[in-house]
Structure 1
């Protein structure tokens, strides 16, 4: 058994996939060395001085909010449970893009919900049918076409009665169906005509009315008010869909009436991976995690807010999970007619706190002079960032946090070495095994990584089965879990392993978005290498053969198949079903500039794009294009050919895409302030949750339910969460005139980047490599 599961290297020792943590000196590399390894090498403005700082010291120091296509910055403001729109007093929704689930915002917390609780003095609805409807009742407007259909079927007199019934139902939603009149039609002899009648009433009145053919009066149809919406989601009902939501019974509100078949909601999380949260939600909902749609994964160490969509899911089922949530919360429920489509993300807004800042000009200055000097240098760096931008590199996050990066796995997939790809995913460092984590490094190793190494080791030895993998491997290692469970499957009769060498089958068990990440990481490595080479060759000059998007300067760029990305440009790619070559109308196209165009001044460095290698892209018509062949054909590039990127396996057959070579902040705004602080864990940016508590709107029960009131991050620090749009505020009052002699200096900044741009690379340019990600100590007991 152990031999069959051994995925060791040629020397017999396990391939090592270690974190660059101090507990493993052989794997420890400087941040600069790690960046160079993936092609991050040059600065756009090396003459502008930078400064040293630490970011992500606390996860509340890194706050990210998605920017919706309409420019709205997304925030979690809903604190109450979701309610179905069944008993709303307002009329049916019009042809809008979505219908909001009634859910009070923070400003409405504590106020009485008058639409849900009618005044006590209101008399109850009569318990007998109303023989006479209100003669002054305003009848709902119908289109000429709808009215014509009804009149053609029922005649003018019966149609008028049906309209009055519909109006009464809308005006008195609290009444039971039996408390409304029943409209009886004339005899309709043709069966096809009766079928049209049933369909027309359901369609025209959005299922507010229902019909039935009377058994004792052949050919006669009764039109009644529909039954009230019953509580759905219970098991055992017939019908439904793959998310466990039952099909609407007669009289229930349909998906289209709620606004559409897709439930959109806002997911707030702190110090958790996107897939970690969604996997938990999926396990509770009894659905596959792949059913969730989102624009991109968000950093674990941060406070992030993003949109998520799910097909045919009721809001109550998601909202009920908030009771079990730890470190996350869902809200902002809304039904729409579509899921999260490509391009439905304008970018991300970042609110960053940079701590322990040191400036080259700070020596020999008193406290006040240090702050003034720091503010001047930070302002200079921000102005350069706004004007000159930065090379749009893929950051280190793109390539994984282990010594065997995701790009190595992607390279092996493209080489056809699928066994090697599996090996690279299942490597671990023996230094992370429980027996090898000594006292000197016990606080420097994430507990999840220790669990991961231990489970993989036991699986290789044959002492861990599928149940052990599910129970002991942390959820965020979904790729490792999927592979090991697949390769562990046994024949029920013989007990022999059935697919221990089905490497492609094992890789296919990984969620497709994550599976594609590997090959796209390789593309990103190539892109980084080429971007640096292009800058070394030509700098900011536009030259013949450079590529630009077709029609972009004229505002006629094709609406391309864009990547969905996270706050650092991490793409979650959802290709078309057939992955065939896209047409001109569905794929962004680029073209090379002629010598005359390059020298005309019409184009600048921010117009240029570089392709990710693929079978459906154009390469630059200059020395840069040749460098693609040179690097990809080398040993470091995997010995691949940029002009031969088709593969028999669809997931490894890359069409390629284009990425802007340069980036700069959206709307040209970078807000910065320099502030002194004393304690290492002092909260420097007020969060939305703190603002709510300040105004008495936060309550302990709700905060505890969301895992926020007593949240503890991986450094053991207490923290409040929920980053806000207005939380980069200059100090005021006593704080503004306070103790500037505090020993530490921090920089708080806010800026917005496009959906394919890395905040870490923007910081790298502003700080000239001086920004270092905080390496926390981990408590292995929690």
Structure 2
């Protein structure tokens, strides 16, 4: 049974675990959502005078539909259900050249006889043969070349400086970009390194030269350098900012990307041998297979880990622009290196809760910046508004429509404070920002202990049968295994077996601290706290210190609004040269559709975190009063050693809050630490957000069945079309074609649905760094509550 709720959203039944705000943090019983938000600095509404409403979010996972917005501005949809053969044809024909069929050329090349190259022999071999020839009459075979000959020919064929810089592999505009960033000497060396990598694809990166740039003092220029090298040289080269030489960028060969099959070789293809080498893959269109992933009620990595296991490659080989929420239906683009389309399409037959389609070979993968944002289609159920008591059904419906319309108009015009949402701060009673604070304070033991905290109420023996219905099984398992580890009754093997996979940080820490000397049996790493933290994947590790930055940012954003409201004032910060453009700094943040930090599967992404933002400057009094800048241009820094702080009262508030007990006694002007992962350079985030293109569409409807589905997913539309059903691709996804809805609910003659309950279906788009939860908070004035599902707790 679902938990009964009072009108204000609190649980009626006692001793229940509260999970609110779209799968937000778990907090002690009795703590309201407002208290949770205030604890992390979420305190202000932009338009408090506009009436709010109460609703239930994510009653069904189909109530939360998310589709990526591609860099082209197109909203991504699943548009086909390809079988293996169709997927192969579709992907192979995606990059036809000169009207000929790629598939035919690939088959012809595979069938063509291979002409053997002349053998290359060492000088020792040649001398030996010469000697044998002198004594035994054996002569050198024609066409055999010595290493000396090869060296001479290579030297003769080596391109000149002008050829290197103007060669066919380097477009004029790319050459200009590199010269502007690095200068002629360094650019020449970088291009030479690139050619060396292409000539020797099997050579290990460490066997190639590392090129060091001169000092690049401007951070925006360093950012440009990272992006340019990766783009121009097709990810064959990588960059990193040297820590011991500030402003210097190292350019080196990228590590080879793993491919499928034993020992890195591709297995056989039922359509014939797969292309070998870069040229063969280019015939198909490129070395990266792109496809559209449609998933329902599953984590992104949960699906990709399954796919990876089936095609026998590491899960980290998959690339995507952002993780997507579990409890929802999401559509996103995924790329993988050198995998045939039919191998992924084959898995559709056994897929549960996901499908893959839209296969296409391309020359590049998917990385940062390959996502404009996300389009949301949200179904808000069981709506209640102020002053509805005593109204009949029609009057109540009319009042709900009026209030929703007013809230939507305000939302489109005035936007919402761009707070970091509750999910940014973790899922348990000790927030991730607490762990981050301890790391910044140098209390690494405290940081480890904060990660390994658990509530005794979640121990198996303390979970009642009633509470078990609303408590995830994984949370119970987590508490149980941490308790047993602290008691010393389990070791690394048991931890790996019993700890749910999504708690990778806890598992990694406990296994590391549990390592014993094989001879003595003594623990050898039990107090190596930094070593334990280093076992956590780096992006996940950084999440803790970023959570502290987010706490500070939230506090400051609320204070800024209280002091100055919705106008740009003297001393506010704006991005340099960013007027009338998108917030490029925010676009490059590694965040998902809810603003959550992305844990990328590819660890070799070398774009330095400290270089993912541009410069900001304070507004003068004249500029602030000119009207040129609005509140939507104003940014606030996350604290770090390489940011500017506002020159008005807000700049002083950073120091006031961070030096307080709640702020941890830190100095915003001293954020460097000896441990790199706790050394924060900072970044900028716009204080305000609103829907992209200023658009918000809404449909208010009635229904009776609490579980009635009110929209259709992309997959349902395709399946319905395949069965001959008419599908209306309207914004709300409702494919009903008459007064009878798709699931049998009745409607009125004019298409209005009938029922005792009211729901609203909202469609809007947000940039990738903005939280849907915070948008809903402003719309509903804090009245949105996430449905608490029942969980299978059989153990």
TM-score by length of 2: 0.72
Measured after TM superposition, the shift of residue 690 of structure 1 is 2.6
Question: Does residue 565 of structure 2 align to residue 539 of structure 1?
Answer: yes
2-side partners of 1:251 and 1:339: how far apart?
Answer: 17
1:549 corresponds to: 575
Q: Paired residue for 1:46, among 27, 45, 48?
A: 48
Mapped to 2, the partners of 1:168 and 1:284 lie a distance apart of: 30
Tell me which moved more, 176-185 or 344-353.
176-185
- Distance verdict in 2 for CA 1:662–1:375, change over 3 Å: same
CA contact (8 A) 1:21 1:444 kept: no
Cα distance, 1:288 vs structure 2:
4.7
Partner of 2:547: 521
Distance change in 2, residues 1:640/1:259 (3 Å): farther
In the TM superposition, what whole-angstrom CA distance separates every residue of 1:613-669 from its partner, at most 9, and x where no partner exists? Answer: 111111111011111111111111111111111122222212111111111111111
For 1:373, the equivalent position in structure 2 comes to: 399
Question: Partner residue of 2:429?
Answer: 403
Report deviation, 1:83: 6.1
1:781 aligns with 2:794: yes
Corresponding residue SS for 1:54: strand
Deviation track 1:82-117 (CA, whole Å, cap 9, x = no partner) reads: 56999x7xxxxxxxxxx945699xxxxxxxxxx9xx
CA distance in 1, matches of 2:328, 2:698: 19
Please state if 1:611 is matched with 2:637: yes
- Out of 655, 658, 674, the residue aligned to residue 632 of structure 1 is 658
Q: Does 1:750 align with 2:763?
A: yes
- Partner secondary structure for residue 552 of structure 1: coil
Secondary structure of the corresponding residue to residue 671 of structure 1: strand
Query: Which position in structure 2 is the counterpart of 1:265?
Result: 291
Query: Could you state the TM-score of these two structures normalised by the residue count of structure 1?
Result: 0.73
Residue 472 of structure 1: aligned partner? 498
| Contact 2:91 2:341 (8 Å CA) reproduced | no
Partner of 1:75: 77
Contact 1:611 1:618 in 2 (8 A): yes
Unmatched tracts of structure 2, length 5 or more? 1-15, 119-141, 160-167, 170-257, 268-272, 740-746
Shift of 1:493: 3.9
Q: Secondary structure at the match of 2:395?
A: helix
In the TM superposition, 1:175-254 aligns within 5 A as 235-236=261-262, 254=280
Q: Secondary structure at the match of 1:411?
A: helix
Q: What's the CA shift string for 1:524-578, capped at 9, x where partnerless?
A: 1111100000000000121100011111226598778820221111133889748
The 5 A counterparts of 1:273-292 are: 273-284=299-310, 287-292=313-318
Greater shift, 725-734 or 364-373, is seen at: 725-734
Aligned-partner Cα distance in 2 for 1:47–1:508 = 48
| Aligned residue number for residue 488 of structure 2 | 462
Establish whether residue 770 from structure 1 lines up as the match of residue 772 from structure 2: no
Structure 1 residue corresponding to 2:58, chosen from 56, 65, 73: 56
Give the aligned length: 636
Say if 1:60 and 1:302, in contact at 8 Å, map to a contact too: yes
**TM-aligned CA distance change 1:366 to 1:265, over 3 Å:** same
Distance 1:689 1:579, change over 3 A: closer
CA offsets 1:20-57 (integer angstroms, 9 cap, x no match): 45999944411111011111111111111111111111
| Residue matched to 2:172 | none
**Against the structure 1 CA distance between its residues 140 and 78, is the aligned structure 2 distance closer, same or farther, given a 3 Å change threshold?**
closer
The question of whether the paired residues in 1 share the 8 Å contact of 2:46 and 2:415 is answered with: yes
SS in 2 for 1:449: helix
Contact 2:477/2:500 (<8 A) preserved: yes
Distance 1:423 1:694 in 2: 52
Change (3 A) 1:24 1:506: closer
Distance 1:315 1:505, change over 3 A: farther
- Partner Cα separation in structure 2 for residue 168 and residue 474 of structure 1: 48
Deviations along 1:430-453, whole A, 9 cap, x unmatched?
111111111231212111111111
User: Where does the alignment leave 5 or more consecutive residues of structure 1 unmatched?
Assistant: 1-17, 89-98, 105-114, 116-138, 142-166, 205-231, 242-246, 700-721
Instruction: Quote the Cα distance in structure 2 between the aligned partners of 1:169 and 1:380.
Output: 55
The separation in 2 between residues aligned to 1:636 and 1:267, in whole angstroms, is 42
Q: Any conservation in 1 of the 2:481–2:499 contact (CA below 8 Å)?
A: yes
Provide the aligned C-alpha RMSD in A: 4.1
Provide the rounded CA distance (Å) in 1 between the counterparts of 2:679 and 2:85. Answer: 45
Deviates more, 1:318-327 or 1:384-393: 318-327
Selected match of 2:471 from 445, 453, 459? 445
| SS, match of residue 637 in structure 2 | strand
SS at match of 1:689: helix
Cα shift readout 1:575-616 (whole Å, capped 9, x = no counterpart):
97484864xxx7411110000000111111111111111111
Separation of aligned partners in 1, 2:384 and 2:101: 71
Q: 1:354 is matched with which residue? A: 380
Higher percent of residues as helix: 2
Could you tell which deviates more after superposition, 639-648 or 724-733?
724-733
- Cα distance, 1:401 vs. partner? 2.0
Paired with 2:404 and 2:115, the residues of 1 have a C-alpha distance of 74
> CA separation of 1:140/1:606 partners in 2, compared to 1, >3 Å: closer, same or farther?
closer
Relative distance call for 1:638 and 1:168 in structure 2 (3 A) is closer
Q: How does 1:90-101 map to 2 (within 5 A)?
A: 100-101=91-92
Confirm or deny: 8 A CA contact 1:632 1:639 kept in the other structure: yes
Rounded Cα–Cα distance in structure 2 between residues aligned with 1:600 and 1:199? 59
**Residue pairs, 1:487-502, within 5 angstroms:** 487-502=513-528
